């Protein structure tokens, strides 16, 4: 309707998840807050949701207004009312090629207005991530935020701290790769959300002087957007490098001219407060340490105008060169260097698997195929993979829960790593098993030979 290419499509049906599972042998049911069907076609996943009801049922689990679980099914009209924004509540009927509008989203789309379907304060308390989506749609489409919705962004701002950390991280990754990251993070900063979510970054603005600190930050995001427009894949480490450029560049300047592999410790010290705050995935963190550690060697290769084979074969080299070019002063020589890098064959060295499993600091489970522990939409090497569950995952306007609580229980059940005592292995577990085998019934529980109660 706006003359733009759709990024993806949401599919909704009146078929229950169990019915979809019976219809499609390549179907998996995921999610806790709201069950979804993932139908697999090779590497492609078609996400199918069942229409939701108004949610006034015992099946809806709330903590105050915040919805934790929601598996109440209903009609298309009820489903539309459960979505976040009017422009996200439009249906397209593929049998009649018509638009069905239950929420007056058609007019808002044509008039360039972003507004919530229900009272914005209630909507944001139910799902705080909706506040970021309001800002995203307004900045990506150059739409106006409706007055009442904008007021609620201020009055309900602190609710964003209640959002699932995995979902927040994925929202950031989406916007870093959108081609409109500069506008999005500028609005986040203006409205105060950036200070709440990435406080160490905003602190550096103040330390350097607001104007100088922000100039470096937004310049990096503008260059990232240009890469996206050129069709360059914005991997997670590349996006993080742009987002955290005010924290990274002071370290690279201290290492300038050394020309060797840098140890990751200076970068870890500078970035660990943000990584802790955002709950960065371990695989992305380790990938970024490889990339930043190669800064000195890539700087020397650029200065000499030659790329040694010992460097070009390293698994992290293409991304490290992109990060180096992103954060270095622009010049024709840098453009030539980057063109040469992009023309080289892929590295022969394979990336090592992440150390440990899952997140470095708590959070969700491992890298296996469990529902709560699958990784990001693209790993550090830019390879496509199943997306982490944004409380259920996928591109829906409202995502069902599939995150932390279940992963925590998996960790204690021995699925997500942890100590031998927790995982049911090791000496302590063996002693407990022997004790259970050799300990007879306690006195008074059951008489010898009688069945247990």
The pLDDT of residue 162 is above 60: yes
Report the distance separating Cα 276 and Cα 210, nearest Å: 24
- Contact (CB, 8 A) for 418 and 427: no
The pLDDT of residue 173 is above 90: yes
Task: Say what the pLDDT of residue 371 is.
Answer: 36
Which sequence spans correspond to the domains of the chain? 165-353+376-385
**257 vs 404, more confident:** 257
**3-state SS assignment for residue 113:** strand
> Among 26-30, 215-219, 406-410, which is the least confidently predicted range?
406-410
C-alpha distances in Å from residue 41, one per residue of 14, 44, 190, 223, 351: 22, 5, 42, 35, 26
DSSP string, 253-301: HHHTT--SPPPSHHHHHHHHHHHHHHT-BHHHHHHHHHHHHTHHHHHHH
And the tokens for 237?
């480490």
The pLDDT of residue 408 is above 50: no
Report the distance separating Cα 221 and Cα 155, nearest Å: 28
**pLDDT confidence of 10, banded at 50, 70, 90?**
confident
Catalytic residues: 8, 10, 84
Report the distance separating Cα 173 and Cα 378, nearest Å: 10
**286 vs 421, more confident:** 286
Q: Decide: residue 94, CB within 10 A, 0-12 exposed, 13-18 middle, 19+ buried.
A: exposed
Find all residues with CB under 8 Å of 358, minimum gap 6, and list them: 281, 282, 364, 365, 366, 367, 373, 407, 416, 417
Task: Say what the pLDDT of residue 64 is.
Answer: 54
**pLDDT confidence of 410, banded at 50, 70, 90?**
very low
**pLDDT confidence of 267, banded at 50, 70, 90?**
confident
The pLDDT of residue 45 is above 80: yes
Task: Say what the pLDDT of residue 254 is.
Answer: 81
The pLDDT of residue 184 is above 90: yes
What average pLDDT does this structure show over 283-298?
92
**pLDDT confidence of 328, banded at 50, 70, 90?**
very high
Task: Say what the pLDDT of residue 148 is.
Answer: 97
Find all residues with CB under 8 Å of 365, minimum gap 6, and list them: 357, 358, 372, 373, 406, 407, 410, 411, 415, 416, 417
Report the distance separating Cα 103 and Cα 297, nearest Å: 56
Q: Which residues pair with 29 in a beta bridge?
A: 37
**35 vs 105, more confident:** 105
Q: Decide: residue 35, CB within 10 A, 0-12 exposed, 13-18 middle, 19+ buried.
A: buried
> Among 105-109, 149-153, 182-186, 398-402, which is the least confidently predicted range?
398-402
**307 vs 207, more confident:** 307
**pLDDT confidence of 436, banded at 50, 70, 90?**
very low
Indicate the average pLDDT of the chain: 78
> Among 93-107, 290-304, 317-331, 424-438, which is the least confidently predicted range?
424-438
Task: Say what the pLDDT of residue 207 is.
Answer: 79
Nearest residue to 116 (alpha-carbon basis) of 102, 106, 131, 101:
131
Single pTM value for the model? 0.71
- Contact (CB, 8 A) for 179 and 226: no
The pLDDT of residue 66 is above 70: no
C-alpha distances in Å from residue 113, one per residue of 88, 95, 139, 421: 12, 29, 11, 55
Residue 407, Cα to own-chain centre: how many angstroms?
Answer: 16
Residue 399, Cα to own-chain centre: how many angstroms?
Answer: 12
Report the distance separating Cα 185 and Cα 246, nearest Å: 14
What average pLDDT does this structure show over 289-316?
92
Residue 338, Cα to own-chain centre: how many angstroms?
Answer: 28
- Contact (CB, 8 A) for 50 and 15: yes
- Tokens 């422009």 belong to 87
> Among 63-77, 185-199, 400-414, which is the least confidently predicted range?
400-414
Report the distance separating Cα 348 and Cα 323, nearest Å: 20
**pLDDT confidence of 258, banded at 50, 70, 90?**
low
- Contact (CB, 8 A) for 384 and 349: no
Task: Say what the pLDDT of residue 276 is.
Answer: 85
The per-residue b/e assignment along 428-439, b for 16 or more CB within 10 angstroms, e otherwise, is eeeeeeeeeeee
The pLDDT of residue 262 is above 80: no
DSSP string, 86-112: GGG-EEEETTTTEEEESSSHHHHHHHT
The pLDDT of residue 144 is above 60: yes
Find all residues with CB under 8 Å of 306, minimum gap 6, and list them: none
- Contact (CB, 8 A) for 385 and 379: yes
């Amino acid at each position: 309707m706006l003359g733009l290419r759709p990024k993806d499509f949401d599919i909704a049906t009146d078929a229950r998840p169990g019915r979809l599972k019976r219809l499609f042998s390549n179907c998996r049911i995921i999610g806790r807050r709201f069950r979804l069907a993932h139908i697999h076609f090779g590497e492609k996943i078609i996400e199918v949701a069942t229409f939701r009801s108004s949610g006034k049922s015992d099946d809806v689990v709330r903590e105050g207004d915040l919805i934790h679980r929601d598996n109440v099914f209903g009609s298309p009209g009820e489903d539309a009312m459960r979505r976040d924004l009017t422009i996200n509540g439009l249906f397209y009927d593929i049998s009649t090629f018509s638009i069905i509008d239950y929420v007056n989203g058609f007019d808002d789309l044509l008039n360039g207005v972003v507004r919530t379907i229900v009272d914005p304060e209630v909507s944001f308390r139910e799902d705080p991530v909706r506040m970021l989506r309001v800002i995203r749609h307004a900045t990506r489409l150059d739409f106006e935020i409706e007055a009442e919705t904008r007021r609620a962004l201020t009055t309900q701002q602190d609710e964003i701290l209640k959002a699932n950390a995995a979902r927040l991280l994925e929202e950031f990754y989406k916007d870093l790769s959108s081609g409109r990251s500069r506008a999005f993070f500028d609005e986040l900063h203006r409205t105060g959300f950036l200070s709440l979510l990435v406080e160490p970054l905003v602190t550096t603005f103040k330390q350097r002087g607001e104007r100088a600190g922000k100039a470096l930050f937004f310049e990096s995001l503008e260059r990232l957007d240009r890469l996206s427009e050129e069709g360059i894949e914005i991997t997670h480490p590349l996006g993080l490098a742009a987002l955290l450029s005010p924290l990274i560049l002071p370290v690279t300047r201290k290492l300038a001219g050394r020309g060797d592999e840098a140890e990751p410790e200076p970068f870890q010290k500078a970035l660990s407060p943000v990584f802790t705050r955002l709950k960065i995935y371990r695989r992305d963190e380790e990938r970024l340490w490889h990339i930043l550690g190669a800064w000195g060697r890539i700087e020397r290769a650029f200065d000499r105008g030659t790329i040694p084979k010992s460097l070009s074969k390293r698994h992290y080299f293409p991304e490290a060169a992109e990060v180096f070019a992103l954060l270095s002063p622009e010049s024709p020589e840098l453009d030539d260097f980057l063109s040469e890098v992009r023309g080289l064959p892929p590295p022969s060295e394979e990336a090592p698997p992440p150390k440990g499993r899952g997140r470095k600091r708590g959070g969700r489970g491992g890298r296996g195929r469990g529902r709560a522990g699958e990784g990001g939409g693209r790993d550090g090497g830019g390879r496509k993979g199943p997306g982490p569950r944004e409380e259920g995952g996928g591109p829906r306007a409202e995502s069902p829960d599939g995150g932390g609580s279940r992963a925590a229980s998996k960790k204690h059940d021995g699925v997500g790593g942890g100590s031998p005592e927790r995982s049911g292995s090791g000496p302590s577990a063996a002693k407990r098993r022997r004790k259970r085998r050799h300990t007879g019934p306690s006195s008074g529980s059951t008489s010898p030979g009688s069945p247990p109660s």
